[in-house]
Amino acid sequence: MKSETTFEPGRRRVIVLAGLSAALLLGGSPLAASTASPGKLKIGIVGSGRVGGGIGSAWVKAGHEVMFSSRHIEHDRALAKRLGANASAGTPREAAAFGDVVMMSVPYGALPSVGRDLAALLDGKVVIDTCNPFVWRDGDIASWARDKGAGLATAELLPGARIVRAFNAIGAARMAAAHESPGRVGMPIASDDAEAAETASRLIRDVGYTPVLIGGLAMGKYLMPGTPLAGEHSPEQILEIAATLD
């Protein structure tokens, strides 16, 4: 089922956004039968740096099974060893195959090659896109993604994946600390897939954030540093800010 992504301006748009977010908070759709159990998911992390490593560690502590992967397998093995039995390390292909859900946390410039290498493994899976395009780091691909909108660009680079854009607007240093005051800070997300957004929302709550759906992937361009949604905001503040955006 696809979520509706056309919103009205002003106060009526706030109401529509709030209704969509409430549906995520109150409702839920099961994953495919490959999910290990109702209380546990298998999550593959592609890119286990500050964001992937921090959020993945929080998911391990919440009881999920997580496989970490990056260009530095020894780092991933050491991280998995510290975290215990629910954590493991592998190659990006192994992590993509392992996960019922895959978190993509690589530099945006790496997404084209990742998309080609992992296309068959990501097809039909929920993919949480944490990647932000920075021109100074990623070059021309970042300029293209910013012009197109980061959410829509990721969907084009990872065809077949069920994209949810999340963990993009809040600094990495704070992400792993959200569990200290659960629910206080909202996590804006964008997706064209309602069931994928519900699955991602469950994992976002497990980290300590309140998920707030701001619209479809076209709104993903606002989920990055330098936009009005950047930084920490309450769920109510996120809805108010999102209602002012085109």
pLDDT by residue (tens digit) across 120-167? 999 999 999 999 999 999 999 999 999 999 999 999 999 999 999 999
**Beta carbons within 10 angstroms of residue 115's beta carbon:** 18
Residue 151 in contact with residue 223, Cβ under 8 Å?
yes
Give one DSSP letter per residue of 160-214, joined into a string. Answer: TSEEEE-S-SS-HHHHTTGGGSTTSSEEEEEESBHHHHHHHHHHHHHHTPEEEEE
User: Is 42's pLDDT higher than 70?
Assistant: yes
What are phi and psi for residue 133, nearest 5 degrees? -85, 120
Q: How far apart are CA 139 and CA 146, in angstroms?
A: 11
Quickly name the fold that domain 10-242 has.
Rossmann fold (3.40.50)
Indicate the range of 30-44, 177-191, 202-216 predicted with least confidence: 30-44
User: Is 182's pLDDT higher than 90?
Assistant: no
Whole-model pTM: value is: 0.85
Q: Where are the domains of the chain?
A: 10-242
Token pair listed for 130: 């944490």
Q: Are strands 186-191 and 126-129 parallel, antiparallel or unpaired?
A: unpaired
Residue 2 in contact with residue 193, Cβ under 8 Å?
yes
171: confidence class by pLDDT, cuts 50, 70, 90: confident
